[in-house]
Amino acid sequence: MAQVIGISCFPRKEHENKVLFFFYRYTLWVPLYPVGFVCEGVIALRDIPYFEETGRFSYPLPNSWNLSFHFPTVLRLYLLLFFFPLLYTMMNHMYRQRCKKLGITPHAERRRRRAEEAEAWKED
């Protein structure tokens, strides 16, 4: 959904509301990315019993390579170890892109500036 909004802004570069489209392009991802990640996680979680029952995409021993692969375990590891770090990384990246394109000062930089101003004010 976020890509549909982003791509729909390209033909509208000559449109009179290009500022509005530009703002939407770099703002609507805020609710859409977490919803997409949660849907992906729910789908992966609900698919684990199916892959355990059918054995699909799993390769048990013995085989010619002497290597086993259990796909439901990979899904569990993904959900346990990688799901939230990837969500944080993507949200952080998209936030920095939004600040850069819209000319907004990021929160961390604003906090640092306020702390420096407070220190300078105390010294006076």
How large a percentage of the chain has pLDDT more than 70? 85
Contact 44, 78 (CB under 8 A): yes
Catalytic residue flag (residue 40): yes
34 neighbors 2 (Cβ within 8 angstroms):
no
Residue from 14, 24, 26, 40 carrying the catalytic annotation: 40
> pTM score, two decimals?
0.69
Options 16, 24, 26, 33, the catalytic residue:
33
pLDDT in tens, 59-108: 998 888 889 999 999 999 999 999 999 999 999 999 888 888 888 887 77
Domain boundaries, the chain: 2-123
Phi, psi of 59 (to 5 degrees): -125, 100
Residue-wise pLDDT tens digits, 60-74: 988 888 899 999 999
Burial of 25 (0-12, 13-18, 19+ CB in 10 A): buried
Beta bridge partners of residue 69, listed in sequence order = 59
